[in-house]
Amino acid sequence: MGKLFGLIGHPVGHSMSPFMHNDQFANLGIDGHYHAFDVHPKDLEAAIQGIRVLGISGFNITIPHKVNVIQYLDEVDEEAKQIGAVNTVVNKNGKLIGYNTDGKGFVVSLMQLAGDSVLHKKMLLVGAGGAARGIYITLARLGVQHIDIANRTVEKANELIASCSFPITSNALSIIEAEKNLFNYEIIINTTSVGMSPQTGMIPIDLKNMKAGTILSDIIYNPIETKWLKLGRSLGGVVQNGVGMFVGQGALAFELWTGQKPDFKGMEKIVRTQLGGN
Ligand code: ATR
């Protein structure tokens, strides 16, 4: 009998995960199917109970359930605990185990762009919300020595830094402070929603003090290239959009569910096609 996988979020109508995972099931000859379920926050507990009863083999969790789902799971792995959010659940013989593949998915895609040496570079994270948290904790856990965090609300950057139990040197900065000293960084990562459709005319941080050759990674993939990345490219930056992180988190989830490594490039291609890119 085939295995069922899925996504729980609200809304999920535009999710590309079903295309990406179902394509890999077909390519690898796995008898599985992935479906997106729109679950209102008030129904989350019932939905998780439904998953148990129906024996769904694994699922992803997206906005707004990544934090709240934790209370309904049987176990949460160490990294997801540190991040405080779960995006992937494995049903292991009836036991629901939570993981977080968002941060690692980002790191995998960054390494594909620039190699393992990225972990030795000086980084600036823009934003201090949920997405920033996953990336920051994962990078700190992997041994990155220096990551500063710039955020509109500096206090939130301070809180994120204080919550990290891994050894790392970090300063919380205002956006203006970071803009003045941008030449200090070799990698700048936008984790905010600034520039995302429909507000495509905004940029999260100005780049005029950036060194040419700096890696600019934007976790946004809609639009596929934000105004910020276009600006960065014109100033000599090496740019990366959010498709890589999205595919990275999906590929790691797929591996947790099936024990098989999916075709990263194939997944990337299908997502780009869905987004109308090439
Ligand atoms: P996510 O889980 O997607 O990271 P979030 O936790 O709401 O979402 O975090 C959103 C991030 O984008 C925050 O860093 C937020 O800044 P604040 O902490 O000051 O709210 C940032 N952000 C969102 N809209 C912004 C805007 N218009 N200008 C500057 N920063 C913005």
- In the chain, CATH 3.40.50.10860 sits at 3-100+244-275
pLDDT score at 278: 59
CATH 3.40.50.720 domain residues, the chain: 103-241
What pLDDT does residue 149 have?
98
**CATH domain 3-100+244-275 topology:** Rossmann fold (3.40.50)
pLDDT of residue 65: 95
Q: What is the b/e burial string over 150-179, where b = at least 16 CB atoms within 10 angstroms of the residue's CB?
A: bbeebebbbebbeebeeebebbbbebeebb
Q: What is the mean pLDDT of the chain?
A: 95
% of the chain residues with pLDDT over 70: 99
Which helix (DSSP H) or strand (DSSP E) does residue 176 occupy? helix 175-180
The atom number, within ligand 1, closest to the CA of 130 reads 2
Tokens of 111: 């390494």
Pocket test for ligand 1, best of 176, 179, 192 (most atoms within 8 A of CB): 192
Query: Which amino acid is residue 65, in one-letter code?
Result: H
pTM: 0.93
Question: Mean pLDDT, to the nearest integer, of 117-137?
Answer: 95
Atom nearest to 202 CA in ligand 1: 27
Average pLDDT (117-130) is 94
Residue 14 has what pLDDT? 87
> Which neighbouring-strand residues pair with 123?
147, 187
- The stretch 39-43 carries a mean pLDDT of 98
**Calpha distance 72→144 (Å, rounded):** 33
Reading the block at residue 173, the tokens are 């900065």
C-alpha 129 – ligand 1 centre gap (Å): 6
Confidence of residue 215 (pLDDT cuts 50, 70, 90): very high
C-alpha torsion angle, residues 262, 142, 164, 89 (rounded to 10) = 20
pLDDT tens sequence across 169-179: 999 999 999 99
Which atom from ligand 1 is nearest to the alpha carbon of 175? 29
The pLDDT of residue 231 is 98
Determine whether 104 is an active site residue: no
Question: Catalytic one among 66, 104, 180, 269?
Answer: 66
* 1 pLDDT more than 80: no
Query: What is the pLDDT, as a whole number, of residue 191?
Result: 97
> Does pLDDT of 269 surpass 70?
yes
Structure confidence by residue, pLDDT tens digits, 228-240: 999 999 999 999 9
Q: What is the mean pLDDT of residues 220-246?
A: 96
| Matching CATH number, 103-241, of 3.40.1350.10, 3.40.50.2300, 3.40.50.720, 3.30.1540.20 | 3.40.50.720
Query: Which amino acids bring their CB within 6 angstroms of ligand 1?
Result: 127-132, 151-153, 156, 191-194
pLDDT at 48: 98
The predicted-structure confidence for 62-77, as pLDDT tens digits, reads as follows 999 999 999 999 999 9
Read off the pLDDT of residues 177-213 as tens digits, 9 standing for 90 and up. Answer: 999 999 999 999 999 999 999 999 999 999 999 999 9
Residue 218 above 80 pLDDT?
Answer: yes
Beta strands in 93-235 (DSSP E): 95-99, 123-126, 147-150, 172-173, 187-190, 215-218
The predicted structure's pLDDT at residue 277: 67
pLDDT at res. 276: 82
Percent of the chain with pLDDT over 90: 94
